[in-house]
Amino acid sequence: LQPGGAATGGGAAPAPAGAVTPEAAAQHPDAALVVVDVQNDFCPGGALAVPQGDQVVPVLNRWIGAFHAAGRPVVFTQDWHPSGHVSFREQGGPWPVHCVQGSPGAAFHPDLQVRGTVFRKGFAPDREAYSGFDGALAAGEAGVRPEVTLAGWLRQQGVRHLYVGGLATDYCVRATVLDGLREGFRVTVLVPAVRAVDVTPGDGERALAEMEAHGALLAAGDAGEAR
């Protein structure tokens, strides 16, 4: 029985719709966890700091642990730009220099339990890539295997349902979720495990509404309050 499902009986208060625990989600044999861009440059002190970006780490660590315990795939996306990337202001792009390949800013947050499969994106100098589905399997210290795409890899694992958290709600999480839906996956956004850049206040909330309008499920990432 799903949390919030029927047949609770006895007048017990039903769990709020949208509540989902990592342990319950990991029991689904078609589930995978996708952790988007939890990298130093997107955390406080980083080059493109997302407010409270580091607060997703403990939440996601619990999800990572549950998915590992259940033998389900865990994917980490990594923003991975060459110096002089088209998205950088010095090139006329919108962003400060960030997540340069091999730099400390491109490394995952030191407290994040990075056990799983890494997909890198944004490595083509002249092309922006917010979505993990534009990424390729990481290979070696700095490279990728461009022939291994995220969608193909997930399908090969029998995955049909993605649980997504990370940074930033209004850019790479949004793009990854919308692409995942387009690719035919069911997608649940772990709301307590995402944070927004909010260049314009409200961007994060608007992105969540847009994802929901496209068919994503918005869930509390913990046993707590649903939204």
Residues near ligand VGL, by CB under 6 A? 37, 42, 48, 79, 87, 95, 130, 167-168, 171-172
Burial of 167 (0-12, 13-18, 19+ CB in 10 A): buried
Compute the least distance from the CB of residue 165 to Zn ion, in Å. 18
Compute the least distance from the CB of residue 166 to ligand VGL, in Å. 8
How far is 112 from 35, CA to CA, in rounded Å? 10
Active site annotation includes 172: yes
Q: Which is nearer to ligand VGL, 69 or 142 (CB)?
A: 142
Q: Name the catalytic one among 43, 121, 170, 179.
A: 121
Backbone angles phi, psi at 203, to 5 degrees: -55, -40
Per-residue mark of binding to Zn ion, 67-86 (x: CB under 5 A): ------------x-------
Q: Which is nearer to ligand VGL, 66 or 170 (CB)?
A: 170
Active site annotation includes 37: yes
Q: Which is nearer to ligand VGL, 73 or 132 (CB)?
A: 132
Burial of 102 (0-12, 13-18, 19+ CB in 10 A): exposed
Question: Helix 174-182 vs helix 203-213: angle between axes, to the nearest 10 degrees?
Answer: 10
Q: Closest residue to Zn ion, Cβ-based?
A: 79
**Helix, strand, coil percent values for the chain (each to nearest 5):** 30, 25, 45
Compute the least distance from the CB of residue 62 to ligand VGL, in Å. 21
Q: Which helix (H) or strand (E) holds 34?
A: strand 31-36
| Torsional class of 47: left (φ above 0), alpha (ψ -120 to 50), beta (otherwise) | alpha
What are the angstrom distances between the C-alpha of 184 and each of 53, 152, 156?
Answer: 29, 12, 14
Using an 8 Å Cβ cutoff, are 174 and 207 in contact?
yes
Q: Name the catalytic one among 43, 54, 99, 172.
A: 172
- Among ligand VGL, Zn ion, none, the one that 37 touches (CB under a kind-dependent 5 to 8 A) is ligand VGL
- Among ligand VGL, Zn ion, none, the one that 167 touches (CB under a kind-dependent 5 to 8 A) is ligand VGL
Q: Which is nearer to Zn ion, 79 or 222 (CB)?
A: 79
Active site annotation includes 126: no
- Contact positions vs Zn ion (CB under 5 A): 79
Catalytic residue numbers, as ranges? 37, 121, 172
